[in-house]
Amino acid sequence: MVKSKSAYSIPTKKGKLDTHIFVVWVDNEAGVLARVVGLFSGRGYNIESLAVAEVDAKKNISRITIVTTGTPQVIDQIKLQLKKLVPVHKVANFKREDKKVIFKEMALLKVVAPKKNIDKCLKSCNKFNPVIIDKTKKSIVIQITALRREIDKMNLKLKPLGLISTSRTGAIAMTRGAEIFN
Amino acid sequence: MPKLLTGAEIVFKCLEDQDVEYIFGYPGGAVLPIYDELKNHETVKHILVRHEQGAGHAAEGYARSSGKPGVVLVTSGPGATNVVTALTDAYMDSVPLVCISGQVPTHLIGTDAFQECDTTGITRPCTKHNWLVKDIKDLSRVIHEAFYVSTTGRPGPVLIDIPKDIQFAKTSYSKFKKEKKLNGKINNKFSQSEIEELINLISKAKKPVVYTGGGVINSGPKASESLREFVRMIGFPITSTLQGLGAFPGDDNQFIGMLGMHGTYEANNAMHDCDLLINIGARFDDRITGKIDEFSPKSKKVHIDIDPSSINKIIKVDLAIVGDVNEVLRATIKKINKKQNGLKTSNKQKISKWWEQIQKWRTKNSLGFINSDKTIKPQHAVKRLYELTKNQDTFITTEVGQHQMWAAQHYKFNKPNRWMTSGGLGTMGYGLPAAVGVQIAHPDKLVIDIAGEASVLMTIQEMSTAVQYNLPIKIFILNNQYMGMVRQWQELLHEKNYSESYSEALPDFVKLAEAYGCKGIKANNPNELDEKIREMINHTGPVIFDCQVDPNENCFPMIPSGKPHNQMILGPNDQEDNRITGKGKSLV
């Protein structure tokens, strides 16, 4: 720690950091995302990725998926603090390693290259449900869905082949089988 | 077709439905329609402050001393930003406040209009919840919801931002009915097995201590009664945080004083050595725990709190009971009574050794100080003030600093809601406006702000409010010409480099009092102190009392930074062999 005269106490030993995915059901109203995100920044939690959209237009419910890291104690606090927000209905969280939960990210990849390279790109995307969204003689836009680290890898792999632009969503999550989050 | 009401009328309808008697506010362009409507509503009285921060603190004082939510009315822009300190203060200390702010008309929002600011954006982190009302149809629902959110669960401030055009717009008003629970935010579902477990721990304990906080006060006067019954039943020693003072009688033998950074020797040692710690409505604040790693190392810990996020936030506990303090205590008392399994007697025997130990610690007399017959010692001044006011129901507010700690140490509170101080945020300038609010709630009671000369100057303008409403508040200033707590830390931790902690120019407080149109009294030496205090108490109007105290006095005991509870610095006699060295210095 920097020798600061205004520190309050010695920081206790940091525990092991886990990556958790939080799924938060909120009223879709003005400022609700700011409340959730402000809670994270205000209390010093970090956000690795964020995905949010309305999922129930009738009930006006949005679903926010946040990937974050923290010690078990911090993860606990995040959950309890989120639950205190008035527009929050429900909070679920699980470890990234949890086998019962699927989580996916989508990415759009634009490659500008000769046909030979474009074909190579498409081929290496094969594992990740590639969809060709736009194609010209010189370019292609491929949509893939995969895990974060897989998209990271694809990014590196396609760069030399002419990848010029990547746009990706935050992770979203769903339980396997008949169960739902609660 | 029902009668159509304007937004401004709806605001007052809602306030009337919520039984609001007083609002603390300051007018301005964006709330003029609401102010215009004020004259039509006799039951709602407006207290005009001199600064919006004063309105907020006055509402806090009102809320804390009466148990009802405080209501604040301010204008847009600077009106709203000025109230932010008070909202944050209320948020930290869980005080129910409902703040209504004006906003520029909806079509001007986002255009950097005159006196526009992003009020809901600014106040989002310092309120439980806030609303920007953009549709007149939402207004009454939002206001009632605001009162509900503010006063239920762990109380706190809320803010409703109402654009000026909404205040003019018309709609029908439907009578307020209790709404469904908001997303189940109230947590009061503790189980009987948790109560059983608590009783089990109580019956096994040999060295127990009860540690209570502001949650007991917030749970209502009944909770204090339950606490007294519970603590007397189990016979345990009890200590309290700054905010919890008054929940248990301060002059009771079972009460071992306040704990924490400036708590008593016996309370902090009991916390450190205990084998069972029962936290009732407190939150393990850093001024309480000291060094976390060495906090109460040998104890089983129980935490009773209405806010689930308080549990395991700082200190891991063995048993958590989420619920309202009074209800948890009632359930526990009921169960102990029902069992009658000899717990009451056998348990007291088990802990008799523990009490002996506590008596030994008590003999240290950690609140002792060396009195003087030449200069007024600040502790002596507080003690005299206590002795001369304890025969009547007195309400004490404070500012923040040494005087606040001396007041907490030497003034004994016997009832809840008699002690209003800024603990969480530590807001200098809290006490004077808070006293205004307290006096509004209790017009016939004695209300004293134990103040420091530096703190009180931050909100001194509210004397003008006190004079306007003839509120006989007494501002008892322990004047040492220093920001005393800053000076104390500089003395102990920064090689006596008294950087900017001395006020070279101070007003003549007696003349200042006269300028405001109230009475000024000055006491220079201990001989005249009692007589002057009596003069202050007997005066029927507001008083500023300039008590000239020893400028070099320090507040002890003190847990030096980076040290656990059992390594405190005691008074001047003990100090030489307990210097704060190296590492501790950086940790205050």
**Per-residue tens of pLDDT for chain B, all 588 residues:** 678 999 999 999 999 999 999 999 999 999 999 999 999 999 999 999 999 999 999 999 999 999 999 999 999 999 999 999 999 999 999 999 999 999 999 999 999 999 999 999 999 999 999 999 999 999 999 999 999 999 999 999 999 999 999 999 999 987 777 655 555 566 678 899 999 999 999 999 999 999 999 999 999 999 999 999 999 999 999 999 999 999 999 999 999 999 999 999 999 999 999 999 999 999 999 899 888 888 999 999 999 999 999 999 999 999 999 999 999 999 999 999 887 655 555 577 889 999 999 999 999 999 999 999 999 999 999 999 999 999 999 999 999 999 999 999 999 999 999 999 999 999 999 999 999 999 999 999 999 999 999 999 999 999 999 999 999 999 999 999 999 999 999 998 888 999 999 999 999 999 999 999 999 999 999 999 999 999 999 999 999 999 999 999 999 999 877 788 888 888 876 655 455 544 444 554
Task: Give Cβ neighbours of residue B435 (< 8 Å, ≥ 6 apart).
Answer: B61, B395, B397, B420, B447, B448, B449, B466, B471, B473, B474, B475
Q: Would the CB atoms of A7 and B587 count as touching at under 8 Å?
A: yes
Q: Would the CB atoms of A86 and B586 count as touching at under 8 Å?
A: no
Which of B206, B149, B139 has its CA nearest to residue B4?
B139
Phi, psi of B422 (to 5 degrees): -90, 105
Do B98 and B71 meet the contact criterion of CB atoms below 8 Å apart? yes
Q: Token digits for B119?
A: 């009020």
Closest by Cβ to B587, choosing from A10, A34, A84: A10
Which of B551, B588, B542, B586 has its CA nearest to residue B569?
B588
Question: b/e per residue, B93-123, with b = 16+ CB within 10 A?
Answer: bbbbbbbbbbbbebebbeeebebbbebbebb
Q: Would the CB atoms of B309 and A73 count as touching at under 8 Å?
A: no
- Residues in A touching B585 (Cβ below 8 Å): 5
Q: Token digits for B229?
A: 């019954």
Q: Would the CB atoms of B124 and A38 count as touching at under 8 Å?
A: yes
The ipTM assigned to this model is 0.89
Residue B26's Cβ-side half-sphere holds a number of Cα atoms within 13 Å equal to: 22
Residue A31: closest CA among chain B residues belongs to which residue? B121
Neighbouring-strand partners of residue B25: B48, B73
d(CA B393, CA B396): 10
d(CA A168, CA B133): 35
d(CA B275, CA A153): 54
Neighbouring-strand partners of residue B22: B45
Do B209 and B271 meet the contact criterion of CB atoms below 8 Å apart? yes
- Residues in A touching B493 (Cβ below 8 Å): 5
Burial of B3 (0-12, 13-18, 19+ CB in 10 A): exposed
Do B303 and B311 meet the contact criterion of CB atoms below 8 Å apart? yes
- Residue ranges of chain A with pLDDT lower than 70? 1-13, 182
Neighbouring-strand partners of residue A106: A145
Question: Tokens 């953009």 sit at which residue?
Answer: B134
Q: Token digits for B70?
A: 């405080």
Closest by Cβ to A86, choosing from B183, B290, B309: B183
Peptide bond into B297 cis (omega under 30): no
| pTM as predicted | 0.94
SS (H, E, C) B338-366: HHCCCHHHHHHHHCHHHHHHHHHHHCCCC
Strand order in the sheet with B97-103: B45-48, B22-25, B70-74, B97-103, B157-163, B129-132
Residue B129: closest CA among chain A residues belongs to which residue? A86
Residue B158: closest CA among chain A residues belongs to which residue? A86
Q: Tell me what pLDDT residue B573 has.
A: 65
Please give, rounded to a whole number of angstroms, the shortest distance from the CA of A8 to a CA of chain B.
Answer: 5
d(CA B413, CA B448): 13
Q: Tell me what pLDDT residue B189 has.
A: 80
Q: Tell me what pLDDT residue B475 has.
A: 98
Q: Would the CB atoms of B312 and A4 count as touching at under 8 Å?
A: no
Q: Which residues of B are catalytic?
A: 52, 114-115, 164, 485
**Amino acid sitting at position B361:** W
- Residues in B touching A34 (Cβ below 8 Å): 121, 124
Closest by Cβ to A80, choosing from B128, B129, B308: B308
The alpha-carbon radius of gyration of chain A (Å, integer) is 20
d(CA B223, CA B415): 11
Please give, rounded to a whole number of angstroms, the shortest distance from the CA of A15 to a CA of chain B.
Answer: 13
> How remote is the C-alpha of B571 from its chain's centroid?
27
- Residues in A touching B312 (Cβ below 8 Å): 73, 76
B→A contacts (Cβ < 8 Å), by residue, are 120-121, 124-125, 128-129, 132, 134, 149, 182-183, 185, 286, 290-293, 307-309, 311-313, 316, 493-494, 561-562, 585-588
CA angle B311–B312–B316, rounded 5-degree value: 130
Q: Hey, what's the torsion of the CAs at B13, B17, B20, B26, to 10 degrees?
A: -20
DSSP string, chain A: ----TT--SPPPPP---EEEEEEEEEE--TTHHHHHHHHHHHTT---SEEEEEEEETTTTEEEEEEEEEE-HHHHHHHHHHHHHSTTEEEEEEEETT-TTEEEEEEEEEEEES-HHHHHHHHHHTGGG--EEEEE-SSEEEEEEEE-HHHHHHHHHHHGGGTEEEEEEPPPEEEESTT----
**Amino acid sitting at position A34:** A
A→B contacts (Cβ < 8 Å), by residue, are 3-10, 12, 30-31, 34-35, 38, 42, 73, 76-77, 80-81, 83-89
**Amino acid sitting at position B572:** P
d(CA B283, CA B243): 11
Q: Hey, what's the torsion of the CAs at B355, B361, B363, B365, to 10 degrees?
A: -130
**Which of B309, B310, B316 should one mutate to test binding to chain A, selecting the residue with the greatest count of A CBs within 10 A?**
B309
d(CA A130, CA A123): 9
d(CA A149, CA A48): 12
- Residues in B touching A76 (Cβ below 8 Å): 312
Question: Tokens 């501002």 sit at which residue?
Answer: B475
d(CA B273, CA B296): 6
Q: Tell me what pLDDT residue B343 has.
A: 58
Q: Tell me what pLDDT residue B494 has.
A: 86
Q: Would the CB atoms of A77 and B308 count as touching at under 8 Å?
A: no
Q: Tell me what pLDDT residue B186 has.
A: 67
Q: Would the CB atoms of B587 and A9 count as touching at under 8 Å?
A: yes
Q: Token digits for B141?
A: 């629902």
Burial of A48 (0-12, 13-18, 19+ CB in 10 A): middle
How many other CB atoms sit within 10 Å of the CB of residue B52?
27
Residue B150: closest CA among chain A residues belongs to which residue? A86
Please give, rounded to a whole number of angstroms, the shortest distance from the CA of B145 to a CA of chain A.
Answer: 10
Closest by Cβ to A31, choosing from B120, B313, B586: B120
Helix (H) or strand (E) holding B208: strand B208-212
Phi, psi of B448 (to 5 degrees): -125, 130
> Residue B175 carries which DSSP code?
P
> Residue B94 carries which DSSP code?
T
Q: Token digits for B225?
A: 């009664």
